[in-house]
Amino acid sequence: MGFPARATFLAGCHVVTVGLATAKAAGILRGKAGTSDIVDATVVTMAAGLGAIVWTSDPDDIRTLIDAQDIKPAPVIRTV
């Protein structure tokens, strides 16, 4: 993805600060799912609260975390 396309894509993104409560929830989710990536767990934790689409190159890990979270409706996963 070149710079103009990336800039257009990022213009539609919403940036949210990770606070202590989110960090703790992500750590608990990571442990519950048995995964090791705290960034993925943070993304899933935040996406669930926002009803967001998760864009990822690793949909299997994201799906594992979403399944462990057991929230309905689950965040939508899109692969890049």
Interval 8-17 mean pLDDT: 79
* Structural domain includes residue 63: yes
The count of domains in the chain is 1
pLDDT confidence band for 1 (50 / 70 / 90): low
**Is it the case that residue 2 has pLDDT exceeding 70?**
no
Domain that holds residue 45: 14-79
pLDDT digits over 19-76, tens only? 999 999 999 999 999 999 999 999 999 988 888 889 899 999 999 999 999 888 888 9
Better pLDDT: 12 or 70: 70
Does residue 6 form part of some domain? no
Peptide bond into 73 cis (omega under 30): yes
Is residue 40 within 8 Å of residue 58, measured between CB atoms?
yes
Assess if residue 69 is contained within a domain: yes
Determine, yes or no, domain membership for 73. Answer: yes
SS3 of the chain: CCHHHHHHHHHCCCCCCCCHHHHHHHHHHHHHHCCCCHHHHHHHHHHHHHCCEEEECCHHHHHHHHHHHCCCCCCEEEEC
Is 54 among the domain residues?
Answer: yes
- Residue 2 falls inside a structural domain: no
Residue 72 lies in a domain: yes
Residue 8 in tokens: 């257009």
What's the pTM value of the predicted model, to 2 decimals?
0.80
